[in-house]
Amino acid sequence: MQKTKKVPQRKCIACQERDSKKGLIRIVKNKEGQIFLDPIGKANGRGAYICKDAECLKKAIKSKALNRAFKIEVPNEVYENLLEELQKYED
């Protein structure tokens, strides 16, 4: 099997869009299991991307997309915090 360099695809976990006009923002889960918004994209941990759009995050909440992305049960209050944070970055 040939090794090909995988370019990490940034894709919104809610709407699956790769390049929305609004851009994507990173959500990270660190090794302590904390989940938070990482607007600079430099935090250590497993990352997932979502549009800078509260509607997408709401969709992710409904579909529990973050649970799938991070393979853990994400508590509701974490989603709520993310939603609150994300709204600060919306245009």
Which residues are at the interface with Zn ion (CB under 5 A)?
12, 14-15, 51, 56
**In the complex with Zn ion, which residue's Cβ is closer, 31 or 91?**
91
Nearest 5°: the CA angle 78, 55, 33 is: 20
Supply the minimum distance, in Å, between the C-beta of residue 50 and Zn ion: 6
Residue entry with tokens 């299991």:
33
Supply the minimum distance, in Å, between the C-beta of residue 40 and Zn ion: 20
Supply the minimum distance, in Å, between the C-beta of residue 62 and Zn ion: 13
Q: How far apart are CA 12 and CA 44, in angstroms?
A: 19
DSSP 38: E
